[in-house]
């Protein structure tokens, strides 16, 4: 059984989550509930759960405050939140599960299934990355899926990405090259940054590393390391406009 604690300041939400668990998640065992971050810390220290379902916005401290107070948590966490675009993006960057209110049963069960698969995996690193992204008010690190788990990398250190069938390569500032088990389009959606531009079906480039645009030979982008990146014809005008805006920002 996966011992679970529910932390939310709304009694109706607590009961709703418990009802969903009882009906759809037979492997979960609710061992405690709390209505604030402070109560939640006490419950966690006492019950030693495997999973914590926690609201973000609560009186007397947020879910992030609770997470920060527990060094290297050994339990899995699913955050529950009303829609907050920045927080949701931070969750995606850090590969942390979250649910939006009102809670959708299908999404809830899917999140629990992911937890069940990873229940034995160390969780503290992704939560440390999440706190770093939230505290800095800057999504600085991103969780990249690899063959043996997740690797956390600095987004601004990515020079460009190149499609490789259903996978893609990530090329870093330090000349490190990573093969990622996701498509280029998947990673593009994950990054969602104005600093990156899809210049070709096979390339996503970090504008910070663009040295020049060359019109000859069909047109291409030259990076600071002299790497030549293809620029599709239909993207040329868009690229020049994007670069103008980027240079002014």
Residue that terminates a domain, selected from 135, 164, 192: 135
CATH, residue 217: 2.40.50.1020
Residues 66 and 166 in one domain: no
- Structure tokens given for 3: 């011992």
Residues 89 and 178 in one domain: no
Q: What angle do CA 220, 224, 227 make, to 5 degrees?
A: 50
User: Is the pLDDT higher at 210 or at 121?
Assistant: 210
Residue 83: predicted pLDDT: 60
Residues 104 and 191 in one domain: no
Sign of CA dihedral 198, 200, 202, 203: negative
Confidence of residue 228 (pLDDT cuts 50, 70, 90): very high
CATH, residue 53: 3.40.50.2300
pLDDT at 11 exceeding the cut of 80: yes
Residues 167 and 111 in one domain: no
Residue 144: predicted pLDDT: 83
Summary mean pLDDT of the chain: 89
Dist. CA 193–CA 64, nearest whole Å: 24
- Cβ pair 144, 170 in contact under 8 A: yes
Residue that terminates a domain, selected from 78, 102, 135: 135
- Structure tokens given for 132: 């770093």
Confidence of residue 227 (pLDDT cuts 50, 70, 90): very high
Q: Domain residues for 240? A: 155-248
Dist. CA 26–CA 1, nearest whole Å: 8
Q: For residue 34, give the nearest of 13, 20, 19 by alpha carbon.
A: 13
Q: What is the pLDDT of residues 101-129, one digit of tens each?
A: 889 999 999 999 989 988 877 676 788 78
Residues 128 and 159 in one domain: no
User: How many domains is the chain built from?
Assistant: 2
Confidence of residue 134 (pLDDT cuts 50, 70, 90): confident
């Amino acid at each position: 059984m996966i011992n679970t604690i529910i932390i939310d300041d709304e009694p109706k939400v607590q009961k709703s989550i418990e009802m969903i668990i009882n009906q759809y998640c037979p492997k979960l065992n609710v061992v405690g509930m709390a209505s604030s971050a402070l109560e939640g810390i006490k419950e966690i220290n006492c019950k030693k759960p495997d999973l914590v379902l926690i609201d973000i916005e609560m009186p007397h401290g947020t879910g992030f405050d609770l997470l920060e107070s527990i060094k290297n948590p050994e339990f899995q966490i699913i955050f529950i939140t009303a829609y907050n675009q920045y927080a949701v993006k931070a969750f995606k960057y850090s590969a942390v599960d979250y649910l939006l209110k009102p809670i959708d049963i299908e999404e809830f069960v899917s999140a629990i299934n992911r937890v069940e698969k990873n229940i034995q995996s160390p969780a503290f690193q992704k939560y440390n990355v999440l706190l770093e992204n939230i505290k800095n008010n800057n999504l600085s690190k991103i969780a990249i899926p690899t063959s043996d788990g997740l690797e956390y990398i600095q987004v601004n250190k990515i020079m460009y990405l190149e499609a490789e069938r259903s996978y893609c390569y990530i090329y870093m500032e330090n000349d490190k090259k990573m093969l990622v088990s996701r498509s280029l389009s998947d990673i593009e959606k994950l990054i969602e940054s104005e600093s990156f531009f899809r210049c070709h079906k096979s390339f996503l480039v970090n504008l910070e590393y663009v040295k020049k645009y060359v019109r000859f030979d069909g047109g291409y982008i030259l990076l600071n390391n002299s790497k030549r990146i293809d620029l599709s014809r239909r993207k040329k005008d868009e690229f020049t406009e994007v670069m103008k805006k980027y240079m002014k920002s």
